Structure 1
Amino acid sequence: MEHWLTTIPPIAVYLLVAVLVGIESLGIPIPGETILVFAAILSSRHELAVSPHAVAIAGILGAVIGDSIGYYVGHRWGTRLFAWLERRFPKHVNDDLIAYAEHEFVRWGIYAVFFGRFIAILRIFAGPLSGSLHMPYPKFLAANVAGAVCWAGGTTYLVYYLGTVAENYLKGFSYVGLAVAVLFGLLGSTLLRRKVERQVEAFAAQRKGTDPAS
């Protein structure tokens, strides 16, 4: 494993981060955040020559460009896009989730674009929903860039720092150190995702006029 990791060209890591984060931002439910965290972990292993700064930049560019393309697609095709996502990814996208996301974006506007970047099940809708709701693009872009910088940059440097500390204090257990970094890096987003999932269920029950506890 150690030998295999040292053979990964840093440019391949950066491109993978940018492409996969960009695809997720288009509205396709793939684990872009997991790829970003993994790349940040690699950057904490100094023998691999992967730069945390380049990882952060790749994540920011992927998020901004992907969201902007998603905005255009949502603005152009809107309802048809969401119907296609429901058919293609039924385990990740459904009518209740789309309705909840639309409700939040209408309610909070550009703030939903910014804070939605930190929540996996809302992150994929930021661009397409903003476009379909005809949010002014300059406002969307400002919130999109700010969210991408805080999310991609913050995630990268947090995981990098945790990975470096873990490696320094657990030199004889390097993979334990990596596991610690992964757990800390994903814990916050996991808790947020579960909270939003409960909110989606409550919102769906309210729409249908039923008790969410039933």
Structure 2
Amino acid sequence: MHLIHESIAMIEPYLRHYGLPALFVIVYLESLGAPLPGESGVICAALLASAGQLPIEGVFLAVAAGAILGDNTGYLIGRYGGRGIIERYGRYIGLNQQRREWIEGLYAQKGAAVVVGARFVVILRQLNGIVAGMMAMRWKPFVVANITGAILWTAVWTSVPFIFGDFFAAHFHDILK
């Protein structure tokens, strides 16, 4: 809880000042692979919406668009540039030929489920599109799974803080004034 509190405290001034464009950029860059606190940004924006300071519809659209576009950009990077990097340097991070083949098989058989599920797991969320592209997952199933996962993830992380805003505000009262 402390880490989320710190992340929200860091993001909140940007969301207040720049609004939905800042939220879109944070989620887009996180979905592209940058180590940013996207989930905390979504929670903070939903809490601000709960307090009437941002429109919840806009929060939902900014988050969903950022997540979908970020993962698609990551997919293109992985598809057209990442494979060579992994083949050359993968061994330095423990990604040998055998592991790479296992991951490729996973994406070939259950790629859509992996893409949807990865949206809900930190680190996997950031690498989701890049890895799917590097593992040569077909684009059409990736896009469908990406949109599905992004909308589900967005719905959870915008609606829960928005609906239970008073409860969360009690825990983050020093930030969300």
Q: TM-score range by the shorter chain?
A: 0.7 to 0.9
Calculate the aligned-residue CA RMSD, in Å. Answer: 3.1
1:50 aligns with 2:44: no
Q: Which residue of 1 aligns with 2:3?
A: none
Given that 1:74 and 1:130 are in contact with CA atoms closer than 8 Å, whether structure 2 keeps it comes out as: yes
1:14 aligns with 2:20: yes
Cα distance in structure 2, aligned partners of 1:177 and 1:162: 11
| SS of aligned partner of 2:19 | helix
Match of 2:33 among 3, 14, 27: 27
Q: Which residue of 1 aligns with 2:5?
A: none
Q: Which residue of 2 aligns with 1:77?
A: 81
Given that 1:57 and 1:153 are in contact with CA atoms closer than 8 Å, whether structure 2 keeps it comes out as: no
The 1:30–1:95 alpha-carbon spacing in structure 2 relative to 1, beyond 3 Å, is farther
Taking only the aligned residue pairs, the percentage that are identical comes to: 27
Q: Which residue of 1 aligns with 2:137?
A: 135
Given that 1:17 and 1:39 are in contact with CA atoms closer than 8 Å, whether structure 2 keeps it comes out as: yes
Match of 2:44 among 12, 20, 38: 38
Given that 1:75 and 1:132 are in contact with CA atoms closer than 8 Å, whether structure 2 keeps it comes out as: yes
Cα distance in structure 2, aligned partners of 1:144 and 1:81: 24
Amino acid at match of 1:156: T
How many corresponding residue pairs?
Answer: 156
Q: Which has the larger radius of gyration?
A: 1
The 1:102–1:38 alpha-carbon spacing in structure 2 relative to 1, beyond 3 Å, is farther
What is the TM-score with the length of structure 2 in the denominator?
0.74
For 1:1-214, list aligned pairs within 5 A: 8-9=16-17, 12-46=18-52, 49-79=53-83, 94-95=93-94, 102=103, 105=107, 108-164=110-166, 166=167, 176-178=170-172
Cα distance in structure 2, aligned partners of 1:125 and 1:177: 31
What is the TM-score with the length of structure 1 in the denominator?
0.62
Deviations 1:8-59 (A, max 9, x none): 35xx22111111111111122221111111111111112xx31112111100
User: Gaps spanning 5+ residues in structure 2: where?
Assistant: 1-8
Given that 2:107 and 2:137 are in contact with CA atoms closer than 8 Å, whether structure 1 keeps it comes out as: no
The 1:34–1:102 alpha-carbon spacing in structure 2 relative to 1, beyond 3 Å, is farther
Cα distance in structure 2, aligned partners of 1:152 and 1:82: 30
Given that 1:59 and 1:153 are in contact with CA atoms closer than 8 Å, whether structure 2 keeps it comes out as: no
The 1:161–1:16 alpha-carbon spacing in structure 2 relative to 1, beyond 3 Å, is same
Given that 2:30 and 2:38 are in contact with CA atoms closer than 8 Å, whether structure 1 keeps it comes out as: yes
Amino acid at match of 1:8: R
The 1:107–1:139 alpha-carbon spacing in structure 2 relative to 1, beyond 3 Å, is closer
The 1:30–1:107 alpha-carbon spacing in structure 2 relative to 1, beyond 3 Å, is farther
| SS of aligned partner of 1:30 | coil
Q: Name segments (4+ residues, structure 1) moved above 3 Å.
A: 79-83, 99-107
